[in-house]
Amino acid sequence: MNVPEPRPVRLRRTSIWVSAGLVAALVAPLAAQSRKAASANMATPPAAAAAATASESVDYDAMYRIKEEATTHSALMQTFSYLTDVTGPRLTNSPGMYAAAEWAKKQLTDWGLSNVHFEKWGPFGRGWENQKFSAMMTAPQPFILQGYPKAWTPGTNGPVTADVVLATLNTPEDLEKAKGTLKGKIVLLTPAPTPAFPTTSGRPAPSPGNPSFEPLIHRYTESDLADLQKESVRPLDLARFRGAFGPAATEFRKKRQAFLIQEGAVAILEGSRGEGNGVIFVQGAQTGEDMRQADAPQVLPQIVLASEHYGRLQRILEKKTPVSVELNVQNRFTTDSLDSINVIAEIPGTDKKDEVVMIGAHFDSWQAGTGATDNGISSAVMMEVMRIIKQTGLKPRRTIRMGLWTGEEQGLLGSRAYVTEHFADRTKMDLKPEHSKLSVYLNMDNGGGTFRGIYLQGNAAASSIFQTWAKPFESFGMTMQTIRNTGGTDHLSFDAVGLPGFQFVQDPLDYDTRTHHTNLDLYERIFPEDVIKNAIVIATFAYEAANRDQMFPRKPVPKPQPDQTPGGTPAPTRPTTTSSR
Ligand SMILES: [Zn+2]
């Protein structure tokens, strides 16, 4: 899941009518009741009212066959292991991502799916991979340092041993003061304070010295779920985000990199955010530059260390005791393709084959683990859903299409490009013919926890439909729906052009505490029972959507939203829930 680089947000039209939806959600009974009663209580938008009046039903026969296939012949964990252990991590445009995409394409074809292909989008920029890494404190004592290079940073040109200096470089005055002191040094760069993203529990994120006394892993309790059903309208602290990510901060980051290069520093070390426990949070470097571009200015090698290891170096230096570190980092930029690809596969429909139900997940990951919970498992679940439906021999009336998106971590780029190409450009909102043919898009990207419900994304008209479809899955723990929006992933690309796009409420497990964008995002963090359930739910929902008499109800088409950001990164949507990111 992508944590959008926070930047100023305009409240969008959807937010206004989410409030209307809130009223509906609070008065509408949550357990499935007669559809008539539910629709009477809901503030259904006029555009959607007609579509929602069809009486909903569940095809229990299909559901049984889906469950049977998903449990007795599950290929899910095998698929997942290939996408993570064998070919991962899948940083966009890296060799791992392409290997995983080729493997997925072949597997989907072998399963007999139709129209399996890569759909090019771009430009994205260079790929990147780490090929070798070692870091060791060599004085005052030998000590292995645990760390990972940040994506799209250069390596060290072979082993280099250098003295380490503490340099807090957060202001132009700091740079001035540090002049002449950094030549040949490895710099411990105390990072500028980063905004603490809310954890699933809503508690502030723990940090070194502020440990959490809560368990690292949890499922939603009934009371958590009840809270999630309440609308929460919490404005972003825009001033704070502007401070950390606004143009002035970006300019300063550029200046700092140029300064460090000019002064002849060797590398930058940072401590991981979070409280430690072996969890190292690593993404790309925030240098103020778009490092994916081939002509990006030179920057230093940058490594994130375990916070305890960073802390040890820092504490020794504070005692005026010299520290030296040996680094050997080999990173490679790849330029074979500056465009990227989404992976597409279909099960053709029958009498309504021109209409489409889409399911999808982002395929790319960050680089320190293998992108297991974010988002290899969801890609594997979507592939498994396609396999299951195909294998059961069920004949969906509408075409079911799967999209596995890349570039999500850099701002939902792949799904947004797909939506622009096929449905509408959010900045212009001139609707393409396919816009009227997409019924619904279902997305998964919140780790490996089992589904507990669905975010209605403000689309109250969808409530009675999901209530009916989810009823048989109460035994899985899928008992709620919430009118809330959730953000940070690819359903937003569809939502932004007025297409119904949904994301599920999932048990957070240890996504926020251990795996999200960390070195521990590995196969072992996924529990088969949770994700097999998710595959059953998505397969059933996709099949029901494909066979429903009418298309899915929609929210009003939004106004064009001028692209506010350079580099095509979508502006974040309005504040979302406390759900895991
Ligand atoms: Zn992510």
Tell me the DSSP string of 139-194. ESS-EEPPEEEPBT----SS-EEEEEEE----SHHHHHHHTTS-TTPEEE--PPPP
Phi, psi of 149 (to 5 degrees): -70, 145
Task: Kindly give the distance from the C-alpha atom of residue 324 to the centroid of ligand 1, in angstroms, as a whole number.
Answer: 34
**Helical H runs in 230-376?**
238-245, 247-263, 307-318
Separation of CA 3 and ligand 1 centre (Å): 7
Is a pLDDT exceeding 80 seen at residue 190?
no
pLDDT at 56 over 70: yes
The reported pLDDT for the residue numbered 24 is 32
- Most confidently predicted of 41-50, 127-136, 206-215: 127-136
Q: What is the mean pLDDT of residues 168-182?
A: 95
CA of 89 to the centre of ligand 1 (A): 12
SS3 labels along 108-137: HHHCCCEEEEEEEECCCCCEEEEEEEEEEE
Given this model, what pLDDT does residue 460 score?
Answer: 94
Phi, psi at 354, each rounded to 5°? -75, -20
| Cα separation, 430 vs 444, whole angstroms | 28
Residues 506, 469: Cα–Cα separation, whole Å: 17
Question: Which residue type does 278 have?
Answer: G
Residue with tokens 């105390």: 190
Asked whether the beta carbons of 18 and 485 are under 8 A apart, the reply is yes
Residue 68 contacts residue 552 (beta carbons within 8 Å): no
Structural contact between residues 330 and 132, judged by C-beta atoms closer than 8 angstroms: yes
Contact 158, 328 (CB under 8 A): yes
Give the Cα-Cα-Cα angle 193, 197, 201 (nearest 5 degrees): 140
Measured between alpha carbons, how far is 73 from 388 in angstroms, rounded to an integer? Answer: 9
Contact between 356 and 548 (Cβ < 8 Å): no
Provide the token pair at 231. 């609308």
Is residue 130 over pLDDT 60?
A: yes
Report CA(448)–ligand 1 centroid distance (Å). 13
> 3-class DSSP state for residue 564?
coil
Rounded to the nearest whole angstrom, what is the distance from the C-alpha of residue 556 to the centroid of ligand 1? 29
Least confident segment among 31-45, 254-268, 477-491, 500-514: 31-45
Q: Tokens 């240098």 correspond to what residue?
A: 287
- Mean pLDDT computed over 122-142: 98
Residue 573 above 70 pLDDT? no
Pairing verdict, β 143-144 and 127-139: antiparallel
| Top-tier CATH class for 128-195+237-334 | alpha beta
Peptide bond into 89 cis (omega under 30): yes
- CA neighbor of 452 nearest in space, from 486, 472, 481: 481
Helix (H) or strand (E) holding 229: helix 222-229
- Contact present, 81 and 407 (Cβ < 8 Å): no
Report the pLDDT value the prediction gives residue 500, as an integer from 0 to 100. Answer: 98
Phi-psi region of 206 (alpha: psi -120 to 50; beta: other; left: phi over 0): beta
pLDDT tens-place string over residues 429-443: 999 999 999 999 999
* Cα Rg, the chain, nearest whole Å: 24
Question: What are the structural domain ranges in the chain?
Answer: 13-124+339-568, 128-195+237-334
pLDDT at residue 31 tops 90: no
One CATH from 3.30.460.10, 3.40.30.10, 3.40.50.300, 3.40.630.10 for 13-124+339-568:
3.40.630.10
Backbone angles phi, psi at 257, to 5 degrees: -65, -45
Q: What is the pLDDT of residues 360-390, one digit of tens each?
A: 999 999 999 999 999 999 999 999 999 999 9
Task: Give me ligand 1 centre to Cα 538, in Å.
Answer: 21
Distance 398 CA to ligand 1 centre (A): 31
For residue 531, report the distance from its CA to the centre of ligand 1, in Å.
18
What is the rounded average pLDDT of the residues 315-342? 96
Using the predicted structure, report yes or no on whether residue 119 has a pLDDT greater than 80: yes
Burial 294-331 (b: 16+ CB within 10 A, else e): eeeeebbbbbbbbbebbebbbebbeeeeebebbbbbbb
* CA 486 to centroid of ligand 1, rounded, Å: 14
Measuring CA to CA, which residue among 456, 457, 458 is closest to residue 466?
456
Q: What is the pLDDT of residue 273?
A: 86
- Angle value at C-alpha 199, between 196 and 200, nearest 5 degrees: 160
* pLDDT, position 14: 28
| Ligand 1 centre distance from Cα of residue 375 (Å) | 7
Q: Quote the ligand 1 centre to 511 CA distance (angstroms).
A: 10
Q: How far is the CA of 49 from the centre of ligand 1 (A)?
A: 35
What was the pLDDT predicted at 40? 32
DSSP 60-106: HHHHHHHHHHHHHS--HHHHHHIIIIIT----TTSHHHHHHHHHHHH
Token digits for 340? 């990227």
- Please identify which residue in the block is written with the tokens 């939506």: 419
Q: Kindly tell me if the per-residue pLDDT of 232 is higher than 90.
A: no
Q: Ligand 1 center to residue 55 CA distance, Å?
A: 38
**Alpha carbon 134 to its chain's center:** 29
Q: Are 479 and 453 in contact (CB under 8 A)?
A: yes
pTM for this one?
0.87
pLDDT of residue 236: 56
pLDDT of residue 580: 33
